Structures are given as C-alpha cells and as structure tokens.
Structure 1
Amino acid sequence: MTISTGAIGVFDSGVGGLSVLQHIRQTLPHERLIYVADSGHVPYGDKSTDYIEQRSHTLTRFLIGQGADAVVIACNTATAAAVASLRSEFSLPIVGMEPAVKPAVAATRSGVVGVLATIGTLESARFAALLERYGEEVEIVTQGCPGLVEQVELGELNSARTLELVKRYTIPLLERGADTLILGCTHYPFLAPLIRDAVGANITLVDTGAAVALQLRRRIQTELPARAHGDGSTRFFTSGDAGQASRIMSALWKSDVVAARLPLEFL
C-alpha cells in the first residue's frame, strides 16, 4: 500500500477562517496546512449562491493542485452555498461549517439563543434546516451583522466603529432574553473579546472551530488511513492584496505570515 503525504487545504472568504485554522493546527500539529483567504471577493454574505459556489470550486481546485487531500470550508456562508456541489465533484474529504446551534441549545439557561451571522448564512436552506431541527426546544433569535466581516478584514478588532456595530447587533438579542450567542461566522471569534466586553460575563459565546477540527481528524483517520504526517508547515495565499493580507494575517495568527497572491487563473 502506498503511503502518501498530503496536506489540508482550508479556505474562507477572507482572513476569518484563521480562527478555524488555529484549532486545526492545535488538533493536528504535524499536518501540512494550506490556507486561502479569498479577500479579493470578500464578503461572501452579500454575494449570490452561484457566485459563492463558483469561487468555492475554484479555490478547491487550487488547493488540490497544491497537494491537498482534504479540504475545510472555513466559512458558514460558503458551506451553505457550495458544500453539496463540492462533495459531488471531488472525492476527497470535505468538511464544512454550520452555526453551532446544537451546543448552544444545550448551553442556554434562559431558553433563548441568539445567532450572529451573515445574511447569506441566515437565508440559507442549511440554516433553515437547523432552525427546524432545534427551534422547538428553545427560542432562536437571529441577527444579520453587515459590516463586521469587513472590520475584521481591516484588522479593526478593537476600534470604536467595530464596538458600535457589535453593540448594535447584540443589544436586540439580549433584549429578547438570549443568554447564549452563537458566533455564526468564522470572522467573529476574533471579535470575541470585544463582544464579551459588550455583553458581559454572564453571556455564553459559542463557535464551532474546535468541533470542525475534531471532525476533520475523524474524517482523515477514517477515509485516508494510508497517509503519513506532514512537516507541520503552514502556507498562506490570498486573492486580495498580498501585503495587506500578510499584515492582517500576522496579527490574527500571532506569528509572522507572508501571504502569496493566488495565480491569475484563480483570481
């Protein structure tokens, strides 16, 4: 049996998926990771499903060309738009995201769960199915958050403008009685300290990065058993400005990052 050394490819609409990549690195420290920030097309939340699906297929082809034998869609909106078609086209393990409704339902004490997410995620059929599955157990209150993704893309994690947006989007959920908030976009965990300051210590914040990393490990062990560990390296790419991406990614990754621009045919 041939033992191959592959890589894990991860993509997001921008830099937010680094919050998932951090969990993947912690869970699979020896794997070779390749990350693509599609910042030239961010945000996905206001794009059509067809547009997001096309970008998802383009980025997946790039990652496979770079040696990826498993792919993580580190974006709730892209998962909703494209995971089914990606799995039908590509035979490798593809792991997606979805808002962490199940653990939030288990965590709530008040019986009210708030969801912070992009409009694209909230309007998706996958999210509607989640609401149908768990909505009878608790009250689920949703809140679209235009502008938050862009603030993270700019590296504005603590600015007055970002705090203003966070308060605007969380206050209605708290007024409805939510004691648990789902961070339904991979950009939002980078705003968790700011959100915590805005909502107080008694509100539970839930994201899915750790669960995705564990699911990825299970899929690799089950579906790619004849596979050697990688070298623990991490490579970064962007469809946006490489200099800006390197600066923002370095701040979020908490280590120096040099992001390469995607080849022209993948832009």
Structure 2
Amino acid sequence: MSSNKPIGIFDSGIGGTSIWKEIHKLLPHENTIYLADSKNAPYGQKSKEEIIALSCKNTEELLKQDCKLIVVACNTATTNAIKELREKYDVPFIGIEPAIKPAALGTETQTIGILATKGTLNSELFNKAVETFSNIKIVEQIGHNLVQLIEDGKIESEEMTKLLEKYLKPMVTANIDYLVLGCTHYPYLIPQIKKIIPEHIKIIDSGVAVAKQTQKILQKNDLLNLSDAENTQLFYTNSDAAVLKSILGFSENVFEKDF
C-alpha cells in the first residue's frame, strides 16, 4: 500500500523549513504542505495553553488538506503540546526535541551547551531529558529575540551578531564541546555561530534525525509514496511571504493564507 497524500509540517514561523529541507532530501517523492504560523511567532514566549491551542489550530488546517502524517517542526510546540495532539487526533505525529543525547554521549569535557527558547527549556519533556544525563554539565541559554530577528529577515544583522556573542561566549568560557540548537529556526544561524565559537565545538540540530524518524513511521504505517507522479511542495504563511521565499531560495508554491 502507498499514499500520495501529503506530509504536513508546521512551525511557529519559517524555522521549520530547516526540517522540511532534510525531509525533502531523504524522501524526495513525498508531497508536502508546510505551514508557517509567523503571525504568532515566537511560541517560546507563550503559555502552555496558548501553545496547545495554536498547535491544534495548525493541525486542523493540515488535516483539512488531507495530510497523512504531521511533523511538529517546532521544539516548543513538541515539548508542550505533542501529548495532547496525539490524544486528540487520529494521525501519526513526529515531534522534535533538542538533541541532548548525542551531545551528552559524545562530550569529552562533560559540558554541553543548549541554545533554545524559554518555552522549550521550561517544558516538562525537556527537563525529563536533562535528568537522564545528570552526570553532564548542561549550560542552558534562552535565545531571547533570535526567532523574531530571523522572522524579520535580519539573520546577518549587527543586532543578531551582538546577541549571539552575548549568548555563546559564556558557553565557550564554560568549556562546552557540543552546542545543541534547540529551535528549528537556529540552523539558519550556523554560519554566524561558527564565526563566534571555536572550531572544535560541534553543532548539533535535529533535522536529519527527524527526517529519518519520518521515513520510519511512514514505512511502519504503509504510508510511503511509491508513485512516480510529479510531487508538489506547498508552503503557506499567515504573514508576509517575502522572508519565507528568501529562506527557501525560491518563490514558486509559496502563498500567503489566513489560518
């Protein structure tokens, strides 16, 4: 059995396109629909109840478009709402959590850094993951205003550089050898981050792992698209589409839509 129904992906803005890129690279035959809820970004500053409500709204929009599986391409939405989504909707969900495990297992200095939103770092799911590696020193840093600057198209701005230096230099001083990016927006900052931290510090994000998990769940549920028909990749934003087009590097199939 195969399914040419689309994979649905949502995030609190454009950051989850970093996850979409890895999924599309691994599963090029799949149709996808991406929702950028930029109007409500960032989720990291919102209450758990607000995050659950927004995640349900996005899920229902994707289910209206007959999605066969939904990727919650947002660390904050995953850590705060995935349990409720799985209980409420009869569709497989793939969530995203900061990749603490590979960093904790790989560290030689016994110290790792995590750059994430307030919503992720304060979540129960995140704190359970941290407790698993109590033998490792974890330097946590909330990335105040990073998501908003990315959403505003200011990735290479002086303001961004100053914020990253403020957040990362104490981690370097603390002797981290792994930096975990705990927000799907942050991979777009890797070129900037590499200018600030020493070369030996390894940067980890969740993109490849999420793509592999998506493939695994599709196979398990007999939902892989085995059709040779041309596939479609659709992108919707409830804000100005210019930044989304810029981050994707193309403008076809990118639409503004109220949701």
TM-score for the superposition, normalised by structure 2: 0.95
Question: 1:216 offset after TM fit, Å?
Answer: 0.4
1:100/1:207 contact within 8 Å kept? yes
**Are 2:211 and 1:216 equivalent residues in the alignment?**
no
Question: 1:249 offset after TM fit, Å?
Answer: 1.8
SS at match of 1:21: helix
Correspondence 1:25-174 to 2 at 5 A: 25-136=24-135, 138-174=136-172
Q: Please give the per-residue CA displacement for 1:120-148, whole angstroms capped at 9, x wherever unaligned.
A: 00000000000011122x11110001110
Closer, same or farther: CA 114–257 of 1 in aligned 2, 3 Å: farther
Q: Please give the per-residue CA displacement for 1:227-267, whole angstroms capped at 9, x wherever unaligned.
A: 544633210111223xxx2x21222212224532334xx3x
RMSD: 1.5
Amino acid at match of 1:51: E
Q: Distance in 1 between matches of 2:230 and 2:7?
A: 12
Amino acid at match of 2:247: L
Q: Distance in 2 between matches of 1:50 and 1:240?
A: 23
**Are 2:174 and 1:176 equivalent residues in the alignment?**
yes
1:249/1:257 contact within 8 Å kept? no
Closer, same or farther: CA 170–65 of 1 in aligned 2, 3 Å: same
Q: Distance in 1 between matches of 2:188 and 2:255?
A: 22
| Structure 1: runs of 5+ lacking an equivalent | none
Q: Distance in 1 between matches of 2:239 and 2:245?
A: 15
The answer for the alignment partner of 1:186 in structure 2 is 184
Q: Distance in 1 between matches of 2:210 and 2:100?
A: 14
1:31/1:231 contact within 8 Å kept? no
2:233/2:253 contact within 8 Å kept? no
Identity %: 37
| Structure 2: runs of 5+ lacking an equivalent | none
The answer for the alignment partner of 2:9 in structure 1 is 10
2:35/2:235 contact within 8 Å kept? yes
Closer, same or farther: CA 225–238 of 1 in aligned 2, 3 Å: closer
SS at match of 1:113: strand
Partner of residue 199 from structure 1, selected from 194, 197, 200: 197
1:9/1:34 contact within 8 Å kept? yes
Q: Distance in 1 between matches of 2:211 and 2:221?
A: 15
Q: Distance in 2 between matches of 1:166 and 1:45?
A: 17
Closer, same or farther: CA 39–225 of 1 in aligned 2, 3 Å: closer
1:37/1:239 contact within 8 Å kept? yes
2:30/2:225 contact within 8 Å kept? no
SS at match of 2:53: helix
Q: Distance in 2 between matches of 1:169 and 1:97?
A: 22
Amino acid at match of 2:251: D
